């Protein structure tokens, strides 16, 4: 039953919130620019965190950071459990990554972005106790066809059939890591091509779920927090995401069990995020397949962002031109 009580509706994130959040990702991306290619990923991350935290403080919502800079980054701000926003408005879970791809930024490589994902309070899986997750992401054609428990070759062939294209034209995105050597070999043995990513499997997953890219599938072991954030975007795109938590040690596994996490269990979009009212916003730091990076064009700073909203099933691109003097003077 749909409530007509406006007070009740106000408790949930609405479309206006997404546009407010873009200001925070734009700020983080712009502040990271001086550090692109300078070799100091920590300085880039700090500048982005400071900017995002400042702008989030002005937003009308009561956000709790479920996925933040985290324990492994020893973050002083945007840490797990921190409240952000001005405390007025909807109560939300929030996942933040001021720079997804700090190493990419430091090296001056493509595909670094700033991102925020939001869902109703209490609906995001808190997977922070287990850093890694085996993941597979596809477009909607993979639903009921692809299963992360199947060999990769079977999944590629099944998805190719669903897409109506030969296996030889399939492209699978995977992080270029030593742990994926056998996976990469198996993908190529199946007859598909690979798109090796240096970092940033969130963007890889989003591109796999979209129909206007060359990527058909994104697979491999990556960050479990990033898997939850990706799920917020996949819900808006109508795609498929599956994940199985991948603890690195017995101690990590026990911490996960103590936190109520399930192992040898396939998490899907609805169990990674138990809400159909999700948002995902991202702004490019450096140029990438998903969004262009920040560009200084004379007196203008240009940013490109995407805004995905699950409730309406929309993806919007936001091109903004910021007056460089005013922005840099007044933040």
Q: Which residues are annotated as a binding site for substrate?
A: 100-102, 132, 177-179, 199-201, 223
Residue list for the binding site: 45, 69, 97, 100-102, 132, 177-179, 199-201, 223, 226
CA nearest neighbour of 172 among 219, 207, 107, 122: 219
3-state secondary structure of 168: helix
Instruction: Give the number of other Cβ atoms within 10 Å of residue 144's Cβ.
Output: 10
Phi, then psi, of 136 in degrees rounded to 5 = -140, 135
Residue list for the binding site for Mn(2+): 45, 69, 97, 100, 226
The tokens for 175 are: 């992080």
Q: Where are the beta strands (DSSP E) in 232-299?
A: 240-245, 267-268, 279-284, 295-297
Residues 6+ apart with CB under 8 A from 292: 284, 302, 304
Q: Would you list the DSSP string of 34-66?
A: GGTTSS-HHHHHHHHHHHHHHHHTTSSSEEEEE
CA nearest neighbour of 239 among 271, 267, 206: 206
Residue 242 CB-density burial (10 A; 0-12 exposed, 13-18 middle, 19+ buried): buried
Q: Tokens 């700020």 identify what position?
A: 27
Residue 204 CA to its chain's centroid (Å): 9
């Amino acid at each position: 039953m749909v409530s007509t009580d406006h007070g009740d509706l106000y408790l949930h994130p609405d479309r206006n919130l997404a546009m407010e959040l873009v200001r925070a990702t734009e700020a983080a991306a712009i502040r990271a620019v001086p550090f692109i290619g300078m070799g100091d990923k920590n300085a880039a991350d700090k500048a982005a965190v400071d900017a995002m935290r400042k702008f989030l403080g002005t937003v009308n919502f009561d956000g709790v950071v479920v996925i933040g800079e985290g324990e492994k980054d020893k973050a002083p701000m945007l840490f797990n459990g921190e409240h952000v926003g001005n405390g007025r408005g909807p109560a939300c879970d929030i996942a933040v990554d001021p720079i997804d791809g700090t190493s990419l930024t430091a090296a001056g490589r493509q595909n670094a972005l700033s991102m925020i994902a939001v869902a109703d309070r209490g609906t995001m899986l808190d997977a922070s106790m287990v850093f890694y997750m085996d993941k597979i992401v596809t477009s909607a054609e993979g639903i009921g066809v692809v299963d992360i428990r199947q060999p990769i070759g079977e999944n590629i062939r099944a998805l190719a059939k669903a897409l109506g294209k030969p296996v030889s034209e399939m492209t699978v995105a995977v992080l270029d890591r030593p742990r994926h050597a056998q996976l990469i070999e198996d993908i190529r043995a199946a007859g598909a091509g690979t798109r090796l990513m240096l970092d940033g499997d969130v963007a890889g997953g989003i591109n796999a779920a979209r129909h206007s890219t060359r990527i058909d599938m994104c697979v491999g072991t990556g960050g479990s927090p990033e898997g939850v954030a990706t799920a917020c975007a996949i819900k808006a795109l109508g795609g498929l995401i599956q994940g199985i938590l991948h603890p690195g040690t017995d101690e990590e596994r026990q911490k996960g069990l103590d936190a109520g996490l399930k192992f040898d269990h396939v998490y899907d979009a609805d169990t990674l995020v138990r809400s159909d009212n999700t948002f995902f916003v991202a702004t490019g730091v450096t140029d990438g397949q998903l969004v262009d990076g920040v560009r200084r064009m004379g007196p203008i700073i240009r940013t490109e962002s995407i805004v995905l909203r699950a409730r309406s099933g929309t993806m919007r691109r936001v091109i903004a031109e910021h007056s460089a003097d005013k922005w840099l003077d007044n933040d």
